[in-house]
Structure 1
Amino acid sequence: MKCALITGGSRGIGSAICIQLAKDTNYHIIINYNSNQTAALETLKAVEAEGNTGEIIQFNVSDNENVTSQLNTWQENNPDATVEVIVNNAGITKDGLFMWMPKEDWDNVINTSLNGFYNVTNFFIQKLLRNRYGRIVNIASVSGVKGTAGQTNYSAAKGALVGATKALAQEVAKRKITVNAVAPGFIQSDMTAELDEKELKGMIPMNRFGTPEEVAHTVSFLVSDKASYITGEVININGGIYS
């Protein structure tokens, strides 16, 4: 059984990616969630409605021991399963001006986006190398590419993820493993629900927020055979916000 694991797959962009991969691929979809089991089960239902198979798995990507024990247990229960696709989507924001930022808000954001990438990808990377095939897609952000005021922690985490994407891509390319990132701008989701969409639209050349599905289509392309010669790339999905 060939599988795709999506971290933070229960809601928003993560959920849209799970559903799109269920439509476009034959992968068994593994939906990781941290706390919202109800949303994860709803995503699973949508995956199965596309005629595909899936399951949910609970772990906190920022907790290395938790990740390792849960994934080891999963692997023991599914000895014939191979994870070929990893989508590192889990991330949180704790916005605020840097001068007033508590260390906890810095650490939590870095631990989820950046250490989460390490914890999950490092668990699988030797298996991918042995299998000589894999697709890793990291969900970065416009904040990690251009920086966003009030998001120094998030910009740092996502900027580091971009650097990690480019470096790891070079290490594993010979084994037919691609490593790419997508950097969404303002996308309609729980994460942006508090933002004033009317006001912010004016900053976006396309004059609208993006949809989770628009990000998911790009991820689906990157995990497909059509993207086999693309690696170390960062694809911006932001309606034209570049400076």
Structure 2
Amino acid sequence: MNRIAVVTGASRLKGIGAAVCRELAKAGHPVFFTYWSPYDEEMPWGSVASEPQVLKEELEGFGVPVGLMELDLTSMEAADLLFRKVREQLGQPSILINNAAYSTKDDYSTITPEDLDKHYFVNIRATTLLSSRFAQQFTIGRAGRIVNLTSGQFQRPMPGELSYATTKGAIDAMTITLAAEVGKLGITVNAINPGPTDTGWMTEEIKSGLSEMFPSGRVGLPIDVARTIKFLVSEEAEWVTGQIIHSEGGFRR
């Protein structure tokens, strides 16, 4: 059964979102993904305007229908807008991957209400509302899947990322409670922590330093987490729910 998948935050070809889209498309799932260029433009890696369209064409090469939408997840209407567009273009989705995130550096001495709100709006409010709307509209009765991306906030402290750690950490609690609520609908809910992953932001110096902390001698790649997500959304994973999975390649802190 080829189920329609929605993936948020797939604006960059080197990112985790794009890797997830590829793995799901290769598995035969129609894919609808979102992106938000203004955020990438603010980040050190920058934004390439053509990449979402390039990704769409790449995914269509796997023989599946593909839709995309530039979407500001800080908007109150984002969840309703997204699922209306998905239903119009592809049909009712059975898979939701909450990959989009907002991340900037701050700590106790520099945190501001404005920056904390930006992290909250994307990392936890959007994730919670998207998941809730997905479940409210899910009528298939089985094989529904929600996978949230977290970052191991309860594995170790993250000094210098107070807003990010605070809001991403809330995803773990939401995942566990939502899984208990929507299991009766035929939906599983899990979160995955991919550990340090090279999505284009790592310098050679950073990669060299981190590589020593992995038994394999390399840092994580987007395809590593994408393959785990492909399993979590499969029908074989129907007995896995309410879990925070630390798929970090044996990362030693």
Residue 150 of structure 1 corresponds to 160
| CA distance 1:111–1:86, shift in 2 (3 Å) | same
Which residue of 73, 80, 92 corresponds with 1:61?
73
Q: In structure 2, how many angstroms separate the alpha carbons of the residues matched to 1:109 and 1:195?
A: 28
SS state of the match for residue 64, structure 1?
Answer: coil
- Within 5 Å, give how 1:6-21 maps onto structure 2: 6-11=7-12, 12-21=15-24
| CA distance 1:125–1:45, shift in 2 (3 Å) | same
Identity, % of aligned positions: 29
**Is 1:183 paired with 2:193?**
yes
Q: What amino acid maps onto 1:160 in structure 2?
A: A
Q: In structure 2, how many angstroms separate the alpha carbons of the residues matched to 1:196 and 1:172?
A: 40
| CA distance 1:106–1:195, shift in 2 (3 Å) | farther
Q: What amino acid maps onto 1:5 in structure 2?
A: V
Q: Is the 8 A contact 2:35 2:69 kept in 1?
A: yes
Which residue of 62, 68, 72 corresponds with 1:50?
62
SS state of the match for residue 18, structure 1?
Answer: helix
Structure 1: runs of 5+ lacking an equivalent: none
Q: Is the 8 A contact 1:64 1:119 kept in 2?
A: no
Residue 118 of structure 2 corresponds to 108
Residue 40 of structure 1 corresponds to 52
Structure 2: runs of 5+ lacking an equivalent: 38-46
Of residues 201-210 and 4-13 in structure 1, the stretch that sits farther from structure 2 once superposed is 201-210
Q: In structure 1, how many angstroms separate the alpha carbons of the residues matched to 2:211 and 2:163?
A: 23
Deviation at 1:58, TM superposition (A): 1.7
Of residues 159-168 and 112-121 in structure 1, the stretch that sits farther from structure 2 once superposed is 112-121
Q: What amino acid maps onto 2:250 in structure 1?
A: G
Deviation at 1:199, TM superposition (A): 2.5
| CA distance 1:116–1:144, shift in 2 (3 Å) | farther
Provide Cα deviations, 1:53-84, integer angstroms capped at 9, x if missing partner.
Answer: 21111211221224423433553x34x71110
Q: Is the 8 A contact 2:128 2:174 kept in 1?
A: no
| CA distance 1:91–1:193, shift in 2 (3 Å) | farther
| CA distance 1:23–1:191, shift in 2 (3 Å) | same
- Within 5 Å, give how 1:65-214 maps onto structure 2: 65-75=77-87, 77-78=88-89, 81-128=91-138, 130-133=139-142, 134-143=144-153, 145-192=155-202, 196-214=206-224
Q: In structure 1, how many angstroms separate the alpha carbons of the residues matched to 2:102 and 2:203?
A: 13
C-alpha RMSD of the superposition: 2.2
SS state of the match for residue 82, structure 1?
Answer: coil
Q: In structure 1, how many angstroms separate the alpha carbons of the residues matched to 2:170 and 2:80?
A: 22
Q: In structure 2, how many angstroms separate the alpha carbons of the residues matched to 1:38 and 1:144?
A: 37
Report how many aligned residue pairs link the two structures: 239
**Is 1:4 paired with 2:5?**
yes
Q: What amino acid maps onto 1:54 in structure 2?
A: V
Q: In structure 2, how many angstroms separate the alpha carbons of the residues matched to 1:106 and 1:236?
A: 25
SS state of the match for residue 4, structure 2?
Answer: strand
Q: Is the 8 A contact 1:92 1:113 kept in 2?
A: yes
| CA distance 1:144–1:186, shift in 2 (3 Å) | same
Please, what TM-score do these two structures have when normalized by structure 1? 0.89
Deviation at 1:123, TM superposition (A): 2.2
Q: In structure 2, how many angstroms separate the alpha carbons of the residues matched to 1:126 and 1:66?
A: 15
SS state of the match for residue 153, structure 2?
Answer: helix
Q: What amino acid maps onto 1:3 in structure 2?
A: I
Deviation at 1:240, TM superposition (A): 2.0
Q: In structure 2, how many angstroms separate the alpha carbons of the residues matched to 1:190 and 1:105?
A: 24
Q: Is the 8 A contact 1:137 1:222 kept in 2?
A: yes
Residue 29 of structure 1 corresponds to 31
| CA distance 1:7–1:193, shift in 2 (3 Å) | farther
Provide Cα deviations, 1:131-158, integer angstroms capped at 9, x if missing partner.
Answer: 2231000011123543312122211122
